[in-house]
Every structure is written in structure tokens, then in C-alpha cells.
Amino acid sequence: MAWLLREGEVLATVEVVDSLGGRVRLHLLRGELESAVLLRPARFASTVAAVSARDVAFCDERLVVLARRRLPPRRLGVPRRGARCVLEAPAGAFDRWSLVPGDQLELKG
């Protein structure tokens, strides 16, 4: 686990998933997200095995938010041009964090 920050402000704990095995575990074994997950490398998001909607942010290699959206359950998202990683969080988290395109995120820990 790591901390997800924006301008020094801690937004959440985040699990970094950077392997195929980790993605399989995330999407098949966990229907609900309890914290944020950073998929790296990734260009699209999937909620095929999810039972609820998720907030999804597409980020570049420097963790600058390119776009964000809410992905309903049981959907396969479209790849985002320029994205190198995807941040997923429970629905409503990005509104609470006031996350917008252009935000520079950072991982600590």
C-alpha cells in the first residue's frame, strides 16, 4: 500500500497493481473496491466483475490526470489515448477529493 497525494494533501491509500496476476485478483476476486487502485501500465478500465460503479481516472506517465469518469458495473471501458495508468476508486471518491483533469498526483510509500 502507498499514499496517493495531490500537492502534499493525502487523498487515499492506494494499492499499486503492476502484474497480470494482480489484475486477475483485482477483477475476479474483488467485486467491491475498499480503497483506490492504480493499474500500471494500463490504458483502459474494466468493471466486468464489479457489483457497483467505480470512479476511473486516466493518467499519463507522470501521474497527471488526463480524464475522469464514472464507469457503471459490468462494463469494459474504451482505451484512453495518452493514458499510461488508470486510477480506480469507489464511486463518489473523485468528487470528495475534487479530482479534475490536470491534477498532478503523487505516490508515497
Do you find a cis peptide bond into 73, omega within 30 degrees of 0?
no
Q: Provide the CATH number for the domain formed by 2-99 in this structure.
A: 2.60.120.1140
Give the burial class of 51: count Cβ atoms within 10 A of its Cβ; 0-12 exposed, 13-18 middle, 19 or more buried: exposed
Question: Does residue 95 carry a pLDDT above 80?
Answer: yes
Asked whether the beta carbons of 27 and 38 are under 8 A apart, the reply is: no
Write out pLDDT tens, residues 10-53: 999 998 988 766 666 665 555 566 789 999 999 998 888 788 89
What integer pLDDT is reported at residue 92 of this predicted model?
95
Q: Where are the domains of the chain?
A: 2-99
**How much of the chain, in percent, has pLDDT values that exceed 90?**
66
pLDDT, averaged across the chain: 89
Owner of C-alpha cell 466483475: 49
